[in-house]
């Protein structure tokens, strides 16, 4: 028998349309059914695909839900250019809060974070699919502010600062929305942005 050419894949190629339909169906099912009643069979039926199509792409519900949330962030979360660093931060805070306030997003995040406390592989998937990808927003905002002259050029410590800034913003918004159940409005977002830019002295 002849060997397959190097780099060739066997089987059908993945369909981007099927992937999108599955992820859309997952978010819709989460909003309607919640985590406990969500099944891969229900998602497949809503997406109009065979169960085997879904199982070839995602081994289980945890992975599917993480990717459904990650796709939503990739599509809809960005750093609007508002002409200044503080205003840019305020804009992304409001957009992030709006996304995680959606029933399907809140349900998914709470569920996968709870599951991840006992599943190292799931924690790695969350970091790779959501956390690490969204850290690009901090990089975009920093580079934009440096181009405006609002921040100094890189001195080698930028990656560590970017991580800290991401943790502060994401942690504050997630806690506000999902733990405290308090609104993230214009005033709160402005105060958080001012804290990051000016420090505690800027809140007076």
Residue pair 84/65 in contact by the 8 Å Cβ criterion: no
Within-domain flag for 53: no
Interacting residues of 22 by C-beta distance below 8 A, sequence separation 6+: 43, 44, 47, 49, 53, 54, 57, 58, 64
Q: How confident is the model at residue 70 (pLDDT cuts 50, 70, 90)?
A: very high
Residue 31: per-residue pLDDT: 85
Within-domain flag for 111: yes
Length in residues, the chain: 204
Number of domains in the chain: 1
Q: How confident is the model at residue 33 (pLDDT cuts 50, 70, 90)?
A: confident
Within-domain flag for 35: no
Within-domain flag for 20: no
Structure-model confidence comparison of residues 140 and 159, the more confident one: 140
Residue 6: per-residue pLDDT: 44
pLDDT digits (tens, 9 = 90+) for 155-193: 878 888 889 999 999 999 999 999 999 999 999 999 999
Structure tokens at 153: 């050029």
Structure tokens at 194: 């001012």
Q: How confident is the model at residue 202 (pLDDT cuts 50, 70, 90)?
A: low
Structural element, H or E, at residue 44: helix 40-47
Instruction: Tell me which residue range forms the domain holding 70.
Output: 61-203
| Secondary structure class of 198 (helix, strand, coil) | helix
Mean pLDDT of all residues in the chain?
87
Backbone region of residue 48 per phi and psi (left: phi > 0; alpha: psi in -120 to 50; beta: other values) = left
Structure tokens at 196: 């990051």
Within-domain flag for 189: yes
**Cβ count near 116 (within 10 Å):** 18
Within-domain flag for 52: no
Residue pair 85/100 in contact by the 8 Å Cβ criterion: no
Residue 135 and residue 184: Cα distance in Å, rounded? 20
Nearest to 82 by CA among 73, 91, 72: 91
Within-domain flag for 44: no
0.85 surpassed by pTM: no
Within-domain flag for 154: yes
**Cβ count near 175 (within 10 Å):** 11
CATH of the domain at 129: 1.10.357.10
């Amino acid at each position: 028998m002849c060997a397959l050419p190097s780099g060739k894949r066997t089987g059908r190629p993945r369909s981007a349309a099927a992937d999108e339909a599955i992820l859309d169906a997952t978010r819709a099912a989460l909003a309607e059914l919640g985590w406990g009643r969500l099944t891969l069979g229900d998602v497949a039926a809503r997406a109009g695909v065979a169960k085997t199509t879904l199982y070839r792409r995602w081994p289980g519900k945890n992975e599917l839900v993480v990717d459904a949330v990650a796709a939503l962030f990739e599509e809809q979360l960005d750093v609007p250019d508002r002409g200044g660093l503080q205003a840019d931060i305020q804009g992304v805070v409001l957009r992030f809060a709006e996304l995680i306030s959606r029933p399907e997003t809140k349900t998914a995040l709470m569920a996968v974070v709870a599951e991840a406390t006992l599943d190292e592989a799931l924690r790695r998937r969350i970091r790779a699919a959501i956390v690490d990808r969204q850290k690009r927003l901090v990089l975009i905002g920093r580079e934009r502010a440096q181009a405006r002259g609002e921040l100094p050029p890189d001195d080698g410590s930028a990656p560590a600062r970017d991580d800290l800034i991401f943790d502060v913003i994401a942690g504050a918004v997630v806690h506000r929305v999902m733990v405290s159940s308090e609104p993230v409005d214009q005033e709160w977002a402005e105060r958080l942005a001012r804290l990051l830019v000016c420090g505690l002295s800027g809140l007076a």
